Amino acid sequence: MYIDGFFEYLKTERKMSKNTLEAYKRDVIEFAEFEKSRKITDLRETQGTEVVAFLLQLKNDGKSAATVNRKLASIRAFYNYLRINDQVTANPTQNIRSPRIERKAIEYLTLEEVDRLLSVPDDSLIGQRDRAMLELLYATGIRVTELIEANLEDINLRMGFITCAGEQSKARIIPIGRPARAALESYIYDARPAIVKEKKDQKSLFVNYTGERITRQGMWKILKEYGRRAGLEEKLTPNVLRNSFAVHMIQNGADLKSLQELMGHEDISATQIYLTVTKNRIKDVYDRTHPRA
């Protein structure tokens, strides 16, 4: 009862994206099952020690600190919801600190690797589609979910921008550079009509062989294949392309606030991680060139 109300609250009040909502659902339901196994069927009776026990089990099961943090955040949000609705007097997670996450080095492509990747698609119908997808991902830094959910109406080729709903339904307008615009023009006006064929009412920007909206799994397969052909198989993921966009923007003088808006980050701290790449690069240059480094 309370869990269903919480999910409805996230969907209607917080306006969370489908993927984020599903993650919260999985986390809270998993915690509810854990409590049930410990003879606690009413989550309003949960104490902080129970939450700690759940987190310790996750750690013992080999879950990463990032995963544990996400699940704790989901549980904390659930109890905040119960507290707001006067179902509990205190949030049992309030004194529980999130595990410290060791930040991994940001993975991104060099300019030479980007050029190599973007030169792989051929001029076939599918090749034109794939070039347009790869160019758009690198040109805008949009999430792969935003790419596959994009519709034709979201692209303005004359003005050179794409409109993305983004997370929590907060729309943003992102410019598209000349190479990406050229690739999109070729795909939209030449290749896409031939792929869609009789499905003239298809609104999806990117479609598969059968003229249906391309799926997340399909996009991963495409990236994996082009990564293999470009010699980047172990390195290429949708997030690596997004990172490449951000890092190259920072390296060429973009300010953090503008980059935050382009990438759709709620918190600027998520954007600030890209500064570490520039700082490391400056230090490398200093160590390599200063006589007293």
Residue 72 sits in the same domain as residue 120: no
Residue 57: inside a domain: yes
The whole-angstrom separation of Cα 121 and Cα 103 is 34
Residue 80 sits in the same domain as residue 128: no
Asked if 93 and 70 touch (Cβ cutoff 8 Å), the reply is no
Residues 6 or more apart whose CB falls under 8 angstroms from that of 20 comprise 167, 168
Residue 270 sits in the same domain as residue 133: yes
Sequential pLDDT tens for the chain (293 residues):
678 888 888 888 887 878 788 888 999 999 999 999 999 988 898 999 999 999 999 989 988 888 888 899 999 999 999 999 889 999 999 888 887 766 677 899 999 999 999 999 999 999 999 999 999 999 999 999 999 999 999 999 999 999 987 655 578 999 999 999 999 999 999 999 999 988 778 999 999 999 999 999 999 999 999 999 999 978 899 999 999 999 999 988 889 899 999 998 887 878 888 887 776 555 555 566 656 55
Residue 126: inside a domain: yes
Question: Domain boundary at 84, 99, 132, which?
Answer: 84
pLDDT at 66: 81
pTM: 0.66
Residue 291: inside a domain: no
Which residues span the domain enclosing 222? 111-284
Residue 126 sits in the same domain as residue 202: yes
pLDDT at 167: 57
Residue 99: inside a domain: no
Question: Domain boundary at 65, 84, 103, which?
Answer: 84
Instruction: Count the neighbouring beta carbons within 10 Å of the beta carbon of residue 188.
Output: 17
Number of domains in the chain: 2
For residue 205, give the nearest of 155, 268, 252, 247 by alpha carbon. Answer: 155
